[in-house]
């Protein structure tokens, strides 16, 4: 199949991904603003019965024993925090979309979700370490969503992945992303970007997905966040959490240093927090 036909088929597949619920889209839009109020999140959850029951279920599953049942949605949202509510809202679509194997990357079921969640936590930790104002919760959500183009592209990669791997390990002057483009006509960041547009995600999330491997190509206003997600992604891979054959076959854009510097101690602490928080969130979802 020619690259052109292949990329057209992939774009067609990207149009058929499950839709986000309107409330989830609104939640992502509200929380992408720097000045949002927790009350806005509470109001949104209140008027979505499916989300209300999920949030209460998760809040009660993590409430320390001895705490009375959490029955009010206000208390549940405040108890869990915006980040957790966003993760819950995304979970429904996430399970259809992320929690599958990626045969083209040789990744088992759960690896993509685990990599995305680790990237989310690492991105938030990096955001908390930098010395400029940035919405750390937005960095978390951007990390959670950064690689979902892989779920679309994986099946198309299956036939060409041995060739692609040989390329990036050999004399090919490019990373895995360029390899995808070379063989399929399109890469997972471009496909993810297309899905982000069809989901009407806020610009900050759209740009993080589109440019997470080449943050210098993002519009200037979005670069601080995109460099943070770029770093979060690399740290997740360095911690051993990738999505199969492409792991660590990407470049680190050294220009991140024009936005932030991380000391060895900071990296060590980010990696530690990443693993602890990953285990915590995973156990919450396993128990809910």
Sequence-distant (6+) residues with CB within 8 A of 279 are none
Site mask for Fe ion (CB under 5 A), range 30-69, x = bound: ----------------------------------------
188-198 and 176-184 are packed helices; what angle lies between their axes, rounded to 10 degrees?
Answer: 80
Per DSSP, 20 falls in state: P
What three-state secondary structure class fits 218?
Answer: coil
Q: List the interface residues with Fe ion, window 218-247 (CB under 5 A).
A: 233
Q: Are 143 and 207 in contact (CB under 8 A)?
A: no
Question: How near is the Cβ of 188 to Fe ion at its closest, in Å?
Answer: 6
Residues from 94 through 133 that contact Fe ion (CB under 5 A): none
Closest contact distance (angstroms) between CB of 160 and Fe ion is: 17
Q: Binding residue for Fe ion (CB under 5 A) from 48, 125, 147, 277?
A: 147
Phi and psi torsions of 102, nearest 5°: -120, 85
Q: Minimal distance in Å, beta carbon 115 to Fe ion? A: 6
Q: How far is the CB of 52 from Fe ion (least distance, A)?
A: 32
CB of residue 150 to Fe ion, shortest distance in Å: 7
Interface of this chain with Fe ion, residues 148 to 167, rule: CB under 5 A: none
Q: Which is nearer to Fe ion, 55 or 222 (CB)?
A: 222
What does each C-alpha distance from 19 to 14, 47, 117, 195, 273 come to in angstroms? Answer: 11, 19, 20, 9, 32
Question: According to the binding rule CB under 5 A, does residue 137 interact with Fe ion?
Answer: no
Alpha-carbon distance 78 to 39, whole Å?
9
**Residues near Fe ion, by CB under 5 A:** 147, 233
């Amino acid at each position: 199949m020619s690259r052109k036909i292949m990329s057209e088929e992939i774009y067609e597949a990207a149009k058929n991904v499950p839709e986000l619920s309107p409330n989830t889209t609104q939640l992502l839009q509200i929380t992408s603003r720097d000045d949002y109020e927790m009350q806005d999140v509470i109001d949104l959850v209140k008027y979505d019965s499916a989300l209300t029951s999920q949030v209460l279920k998760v809040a009660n599953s993590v409430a320390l024993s001895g705490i009375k049942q959490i029955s009010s949605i206000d208390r549940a949202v405040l108890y869990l925090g915006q980040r957790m509510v966003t993760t819950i809202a995304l979970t429904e679509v996430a399970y259809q979309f992320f929690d599958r194997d990626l045969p083209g990357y040789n990744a088992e079921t759960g690896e993509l979700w685990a990599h995305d969640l680790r990237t989310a936590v690492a991105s938030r930790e990096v955001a908390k370490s930098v010395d400029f104002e940035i919405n750390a919760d937005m960095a978390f959500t951007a990390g959670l969503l950064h690689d979902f183009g892989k779920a679309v592209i994986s099946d198309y990669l299956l036939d060409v992945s041995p060739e692609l791997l040989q390329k990036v390990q050999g004399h090919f002057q490019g990373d895995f992303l360029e390899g995808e483009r070379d063989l399929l006509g399109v890469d997972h960041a471009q496909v993810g970007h297309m899905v982000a547009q069809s989901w009407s995600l806020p610009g900050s999330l759209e740009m993080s997905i589109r440019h997470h491997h080449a943050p210098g190509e993002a519009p200037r206003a979005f670069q601080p966040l995109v460099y943070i997600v770029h770093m979060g992604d690399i740290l997740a891979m360095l911690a051993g959490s990738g999505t199969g054959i492409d792991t660590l076959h990407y470049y680190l854009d050294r220009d991140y240093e024009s936005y932030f510097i991380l000391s060895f101690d900071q990296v060590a602490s980010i990696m530690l927090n990443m693993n602890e928080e990953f285990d915590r969130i995973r156990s919450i979802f396993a128990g809910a």
